[in-house]
């Protein structure tokens, strides 16, 4: 018998009980249930954070590249995208991001 299989409440031997997501240790005497449910929640949170990080990076890599020169590091490759600042008659503004140092700037028309 390994350590940790005794109920912290009444000292009875805990029995493994299979749940829908994991095996929990339960006390047959006082119905104490071990807290591995919380561990599962933490793991799920970690996975969500990772997914968000990947999503944040992906749009930038899909932007087209252009031969615009970076004012900071003189790198001659930059991603670019256009943003319509106001709906209607105003022209689009071009934004650039240096592929090397991530410096961002905009092109004024
Ligand atoms: Zn107990
Ligand atoms: Zn640069």
Q: What is the CATH number of the domain that holds 66?
A: 2.20.25.10
At 104 the three-state DSSP class reads strand
The two structure tokens encoding residue 65? 């590249």
Please state the domain count of the chain. 2
Alpha helix (H) ranges present in the chain?
36-61
The CATH number for 7's domain is 2.20.25
β pairing state of 14-18 and 92-98: unpaired
Q: CA–CA separation, 65 vs 75, rounded Å? A: 12
pLDDT in tens, 14-32: 888 877 777 788 888 998 8
| Domain ranges, residue 87 | 60-107
Which protein residues have a CB closer than 5 Å to ligand 2 (ion)?
70, 72-73, 75, 98, 100-101, 103
pLDDT in tens, 93-106: 889 999 999 999 99
Neighbours of 51 (CB within 10 A): 10
Ligand sitting nearest the alpha carbon of 96: 2
Q: Is 67 found in the same domain as 103?
A: yes
List the catalytic residues.
89-90
Does this model's pTM top 0.85? My answer is: no
Q: Is 12 exposed, middle or buried (0-12, 13-18, 19+ CB in 10 A)?
A: middle
Position 54 pLDDT exceeds 70: no
Ligand sitting nearest the alpha carbon of 76: 2
């Amino acid at each position: 018998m390994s350590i940790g299989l005794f109920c912290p409440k009444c000292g009875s031997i805990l029995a493994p009980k299979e749940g829908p997501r994991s095996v929990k240790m339960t006390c047959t005497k006082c119905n104490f249930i071990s807290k591995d449910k919380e561990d599962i929640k933490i793991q799920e949170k970690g996975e969500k954070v990772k997914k968000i990080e990947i999503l944040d990076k992906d749009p930038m890599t899909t932007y087209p590249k252009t031969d615009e020169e970076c004012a900071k590091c003189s790198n001659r490759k930059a991603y670019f995208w256009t943003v319509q600042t106001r709906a209607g008659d105003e022209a689009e503004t071009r934004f650039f991001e240096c592929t090397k140092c991530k410096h961002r700037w905009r092109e004024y028309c």
